Each structure stands twice: as C-alpha cells, then as structure tokens.
Amino acid sequence: MTDGIAAALHDLEQAFARYPRRLVLERCPHCGPPVRVGDADLFWLSLKLGNTIGTADDAKALLPLLFERLVTTDELDPDIILGMLANLNWRSWSPAEQNAVDRFLDQTWRVLLSEFPPRIGAFHDAASFLRSLTAATLSPTRFLAVWDETTGQSADRHLATFIEGAQFSTRLDPAIRQWITRESLQTRLFHAFERESSDPTWSAAFANAYDLVSASSSV
C-alpha cells in the first residue's frame, strides 16, 4: 500500500469516526434474523448494507473498511461499493466526508496508473475503475485529466489496453469518447509506439490502439 492510499484511508477513518460500528445489524423483518458483522461475508454484506441490512449510518461506519478491502483484496466488487455511494446520496454528505471519498478515489487512480499490470486489489485495470465511477454517478473528467498528466510506460500501456477494450458505441461515456478521439491522444500513442518498437507485443498494441482512435475520430 502506498503512502498516498494509506493517508487517504486514514482520512476516511477520521471523517467517518462519528458513526459507531455496531457488532449486530438489524435486517428487514422479511429478510431474516439480525446479522453479526464479524461473521458475515463482506461481499454479501456489501450487497445489502444500508438497504435491507442496517441503516445509512451503518453503511457509513463500514465505508472505510470496505474501501480498504477494495485496494488490498479481490473480495469486493467496485461497482457495488461505489454504487452504494449513489444509493446513499453521498453528494449530500458533509464536505469532510465527501472530500475523504474523493481523496481515496484520486489516490487509488494515481496508483493504478503508475503500475502495469496494476496491483491494487479489486481494481484490475483502468476500465474497471472508470466503470465504477458510473455506479457512483461521478464524471470521469477529472480522472481523465490525471491520465493526461501521468506519463511513462505504465500509464501508456493502460491507455493502449483500455482503448483496445473500449466499445466505440453510444454506450461509451461521452466524456471518455471525446477524450479518446483527441489528436493529442493519437500523438501520445504514436510516441509510445516509437518508444516500444523493440517489443513486438506492445508495439503492435500501440499501433492497434492508434488505428482504433484514428478510425473513431473520422466517424
């Protein structure tokens, strides 16, 4: 775990410290007996937390733990955890709580781009991170700006992999589509192709990504 993520997790603990972590959470009357948090599978609990199990405050109390597990294990689904933010209307939370979530996401994204392949828990690639933003009703714009600022082999390889896997259709987020089809991004891919020309696998990947972006730009 990097210092940046460790600090972001500490901020989360501080921001949500006023919500007590209860050992036992009530369930919807039709859903069964109360749940002992320590005995529950965390993935299963994340599906129901703040909905049929516990309250919104219980979800906020466990949020630092859920985020910590997102970046240290593969047991949780980022779409579910960030979707929980949307369900809880997280942009109505206090500034300190919102800022702590934003900082965690910013730090996670920067670390993800700095390593290829990434080694950051349940975020397996750039696509999985950006997809989870949709679940949290977050615009990808600021994260794409960070990608522009992040240079080097790892960030470029993430870029080629993301473009090769992207579906250039109406389902692609408009902000991402616009970002992908910029001339500056084509130039970046071309320079990456030149830099890795001695590696047949990656030079082919950058060439393919360049062609995909060029074709999409001309449509």
> Residue range 138-159: average pLDDT?
96
DSSP, collapsed to helix, strand or coil, labels residue 53 as strand
Provide the pLDDT confidence category of residue 219 given band limits of 50, 70 and 90: low
Q: List, for residues 125-144, the tens digit of each pLDDT value.
A: 999 999 999 999 999 999 99
Mean pLDDT of all residues belonging to the chain: 92
Q: What is the pLDDT of residues 8-57, one digit of tens each?
A: 999 999 999 999 999 999 988 778 888 999 999 999 999 999 888 999 99
Percent of the chain past pLDDT 70, that is, above it, reads: 96
Tens of pLDDT along 92-128?
999 999 999 999 999 999 999 999 999 899 999 999 9
Helix segments in the chain, DSSP class H: 3-15, 42-48, 56-72, 78-87, 95-114, 126-135, 141-149, 153-165, 174-180, 183-195, 200-217
pLDDT beyond 70 at 168: no
